[in-house]
């Protein structure tokens, strides 16, 4: 058996190669179009999701993992180890963290539950770092300390192409979104330590993508040794351009690039380009 297993939730973005190789169980989020529900990664691919938002009249909505979903993930993890590291989406964005804790009380084994204070690939970087630590012999206590440390260090900077999906998700006051939409504002959002902040507002996509690089450099100086995750929502070419720039600009100890997936895209829409990262000591 492993020293400990890892459980996370469906808000995470992780490379398929990592998921196939590592003992990581996921309590999946769900996406609904009207009365029809899907589970990303199970019966809904990224391509199918983007087809649905183009063809369906209903706007998608997300629901967090149920208590049963979480217990199923715990039972899967307990096949590998008696100790479980649980890493959740930012607790201020979702009730998943609390539900993960509640579910652990009725399960055998020893649990350490950590709020990643991030989302998507930012959360994924923390999960993968803890999995690498496990491979090197880290204990559950070691991995928990690392996860809490990374919760303060991981950054995610994202260019949002449209405010429409944010408005429909209800995550931002409607009046602010209305004003932004009228002005054709394209925000750049920074996630750090659980606090999403709009750090700039741009009028055009080309300028927004350039400004994204400038704001990343403000957080991560050129030449820095870093773990890097380039993300997008149905914008692979722009993500590829950002990734090429990142690999020229930084010493990428690990580099990943992929679509962030349906859960994030439901809230921010297509056209997003982002980079998650943390600086190595």
Beta bridge partners of 274: 158, 231
Q: What is the mean pLDDT of the chain?
A: 92
Per-residue pLDDT tens digits for 245-263: 999 999 999 999 999 999 9
pTM of the model: 0.93
Query: What would the pLDDT profile of 23-59 be if each residue is shown by its tens digit?
Result: 799 999 999 999 999 999 999 999 999 999 999 999 9
Task: Taking residues 79-87, report their average pLDDT.
Answer: 96
255 vs 1, higher pLDDT: 255
Residue 22: which pLDDT band, with cuts at 50, 70 and 90? confident
Instruction: Domains for the chain: give ranges and CATH numbers.
Output: 5-29+64-152 (3.40.50.10440), 155-279 (3.30.1180.10)
| pLDDT (mean) for 89-110 | 92
């Amino acid at each position: 058996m492993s020293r400990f297993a890892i459980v996370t939730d469906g808000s995470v973005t992780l490379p398929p190669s990592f998921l196939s190789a590592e003992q990581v169980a996921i309590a999946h989020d769900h996406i609904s179009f009207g009365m029809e529900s899907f589970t990303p990664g199970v019966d809904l691919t990224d391509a199918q999701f983007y087809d649905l938002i183009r063809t369906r009249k209903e706007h998608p909505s997300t629901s967090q993992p149920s208590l049963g979903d979480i217990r199923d993930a715990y039972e899967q993890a307990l096949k590998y180890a008696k100790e479980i590291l649980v890493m959740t989406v930012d607790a201020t964005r979702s009730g998943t963290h609390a539900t993960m804790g509640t579910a652990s009380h009725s399960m055998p084994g020893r649990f350490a539950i950590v709020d990643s204070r991030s989302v998507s690939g930012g959360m994924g970087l923390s999960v993968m770092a803890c999995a690498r630590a496990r491979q090197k012999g880290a204990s559950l206590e070691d991995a928990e300390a690392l996860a809490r440390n990374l919760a303060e260090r991981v950054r995610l900077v994202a260019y949002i192409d449209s405010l429409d999906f944010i408005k429909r998700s209800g995550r931002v006051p409607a009046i602010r979104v209305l004003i932004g939409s009228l002005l054709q504002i394209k925000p750049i959002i920074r996630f750090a330590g659980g606090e999403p902040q709009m750090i700039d507002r741009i009028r055009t996509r080309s300028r927004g993508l350039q400004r994204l690089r400038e704001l990343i450099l403000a957080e991560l100086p050129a030449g820095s040794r870093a773990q890097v995750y380039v993300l997008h929502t149905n914008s692979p070419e722009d993500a590829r351009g950002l990734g090429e720039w990142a690999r020229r600009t930084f010493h990428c100890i690990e580099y990943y690039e992929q679509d962030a997936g349906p859960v994030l895209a439901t809230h921010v829409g297509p056209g997003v380009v982002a980079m998650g990262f943390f600086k190595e000591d």
